[in-house]
Structure 1
Amino acid sequence: MAERGLHVTGVDSSPTFVSLCRQRLPGHEFLVADMRSLALARRFDGLLAWDSFFHLAPDDQRRMFDVFARHAAPSAVLMFNSGPSHGESIGAYRGDPLYHARLSADEYTALLDGFAFEVIAHAVEDWASGGGRTVWLARAVA
């Protein structure tokens, strides 16, 4: 996104990750914060929750749609990835346990609709562009 001339505001709960982003992308903004309680008092044309959102518990994921809506400018694009079907699991990353939670596609669609987002595209286990991820693309509607 930065290479295409967009101004990036990044949020992560890891100070180490935010520090690395600040070093690699000077001139952009990176904040140490928990996405679940994000309240920046500004709106963005695009929101991306990539490889992060599905690490939240189901109830936290449900509450995130209000956070997305409060930060979405008119016609903003929201993209996030989820698992392919409802459930919870513990995977592994570099030998450490890693929690994943997923709502059903119907529930994600209902949440998007309930917070005035329309689904533009949804691909389940998309190997062509998402590396096997289930991808959601939505747009804020008035």
Structure 2
Amino acid sequence: MPDRIAEHYERHAHAFDASRRKDLVEKGWLDRFLLGVPKGGQVLDLGCGAGEPIARYLIDRNRELTGIDASERMITLARTRFGRHRWICADMRGVEVEGPFHGVIAWDSIFHLRPEEQAEMVVKVARLLAPDGAFLFNTGAARDETMGCQFGEELYHASLAPAEYRALFAEHGLIEVAFVPNDEATGGRAIWLARKRR
């Protein structure tokens, strides 16, 4: 279940990092995200892992990173690689960080939370974003709770329905920029890009 996600990634931190760090399937989405984040802008990466490849891509394009991940091993790797940036070992659901941020990214992370917790995270992100700030994240294509498999172990995933995310956007000052329910370029992920109202 969701509360075991941190233990899973802690156990498999080095294997995950080795398999993930060279695979930038999300490049096109990151480029769209960066259109809304000025150079030198502050980006919050929720579920940042070891900082590869996403944080590196953003750092190489002159953005300042704050990364949050529940795996101490992942955060240690990120700190070793990008010591000038801020890395916090914590559960994204409870950690308090000071905004505003010009962009927030939650790639392959909040979909490990229960649907109601995902709703709370959308509200939290809306509060942390600067006006016109960008929010990039991925979910399922429909309301669902399911078990996937990674490194031979079950791994929990969940999603709200698209209409529920849109209702949260409307209530909390976010505007949908794009939604692709089955993006072939990223292996079939359902991807959202939103921005904060000015």
Q: Same fold (TM over 0.5)?
A: yes
> Structure 1: how far apart are the matches of 2:93 and 2:100?
16
Partner in structure 2 of residue 105 of structure 1 = 162
Aligned match of 1:20 in 59, 77, 80? 77
Partner in structure 2 of residue 30 of structure 1 = 87
Residue 2 of structure 1 aligns with an amino acid whose one-letter code is I
Residue 51 of structure 1 aligns with an amino acid whose one-letter code is D
Aligned match of 2:115 in 54, 58, 62? 58
Superposition deviation, residue 26 in structure 1: 2.1
Partner in structure 2 of residue 118 of structure 1 = 175
Q: Does 1:137 align with 2:168?
A: no
Q: Does 1:2 align with 2:59?
A: yes
Answer whether contact 1:87 1:102 (CA < 8 A) is retained.
yes
Partner in structure 1 of residue 144 of structure 2 = 87
* More helix, by proportion: 2
Superposition deviation, residue 17 in structure 1: 0.6
Residue 25 of structure 1 aligns with an amino acid whose one-letter code is F
* More strand, by proportion: 1
Partner of 2:64, secondary structure, is coil
User: 1:4-55, CA deviations, whole angstroms, 9 ceiling, x for partnerless residues?
Assistant: 1111110011111111111122211110111112321221000001100000
RMSD value, Cα: 1.0
Superposition deviation, residue 98 in structure 1: 0.2
> Structure 1: how far apart are the matches of 2:107 and 2:92?
12
Give the unaligned 5+ runs of structure 2. Answer: 1-57
Partner in structure 1 of residue 128 of structure 2 = 71
> Structure 2: how far apart are the matches of 1:74 and 1:112?
14
> Structure 1: how far apart are the matches of 2:98 and 2:81?
26
Partner in structure 1 of residue 184 of structure 2 = 127
**Where has structure 1 moved over 4 Å in runs of 4 or more?**
none
Residue 132 of structure 1 aligns with an amino acid whose one-letter code is G
Residue 137 of structure 1 aligns with an amino acid whose one-letter code is L
Aligned match of 1:96 in 130, 145, 153? 153
TM-score by length of 2: 0.69
Superposition deviation, residue 94 in structure 1: 0.5
